[in-house]
Amino acid sequence: MSEPQADQARDGGHGAAAPEDALASFIGKWRARWPEWALAETFVPAAQRQTALAWAALQQELADAAWGGRDARPGELKLGWWLEELQGWSQGRRRHPLGQALQRQAAPWAALATALPTLLETRERPLDRDDASASLQAYAAALAAVDAALFGVAAGPSDIAATGAGLLHARLAHEGESAVPLGVLARVGEAGAVAAWAQELRAHWPAEPAASLPRRLWAALALARLRAGDAARPLSPWRALLSAWRGARGRR
């Protein structure tokens, strides 16, 4: 079974969804985790909103494959499938519904595919914050390069740093205690590990904003969740709007 067929089996196995419905389903999965985006996306030019949504959904699919579940093997198989899929995008082929919105974009999909094994390697619990950040450097750089191509900016160190911080937040939000480095566990114990790691991420959040507007918004919402005390809990509407406004202007 292919990756999209496996995900579409969630509808009860009553046949494949129409391409537009399948695309909407994957985007809906991301929106379910980030309902704040309904407000934040107003800062994104209308012509870029569908691309930003599909790109966010793809990043979520890849991260979930790398980090989700107790057994690593299903994720390895999914990322192997995605490696082939992204290489196909660079050659004009696509199978996954997200390719409807992304494949024709002139982005470095093959380079992103090449970076996927480094994402899989981050499944193991890191030693500390430096180890967690360093292990994601190559993958964050590949994501930042796609940002630059999709949204017409020049990616630099600030883009890689913002992307890496967002990845660390995403793992904590979705995986909880299993995302906390060993050093933090040893220092505070299991009961306080999530809160301590969230505080460390917040304290070391990159000061320089990313060049890509969507990346600035995603980073601003992630930081606001950390400041609110729960990496996974959606922000209130007023806090989401204020955070997005500040993010759009490159402010923390």
Structure confidence by residue, pLDDT tens digits, 33-86: 999 999 999 999 999 999 999 999 999 999 999 998 888 899 999 999 999 999
Number of domains in the chain: 1
Q: What percent of the chain has pLDDT over 90?
A: 88
Q: What is the CATH number of the domain that holds 188?
A: 1.10.600.10
In a domain, 1, yes or no: no
Taking residues 94-119, what's their average pLDDT? 96
- 9 domain-assigned: no
Q: Tell me whether residue 3 is in a domain.
A: no
Tell me if 6 is assigned to some domain.
Answer: no
CB burial readout 36-65, b (16+ within 10 A) else e = bbebbbebbeeebeebbbbbbbbbbbbbbb
Q: What confidence tens digit (pLDDT) does each residue in 165-194 have?
A: 999 999 999 999 999 999 999 999 999 999
Per-residue pLDDT at 202: 97
Domain that holds residue 220: 16-248
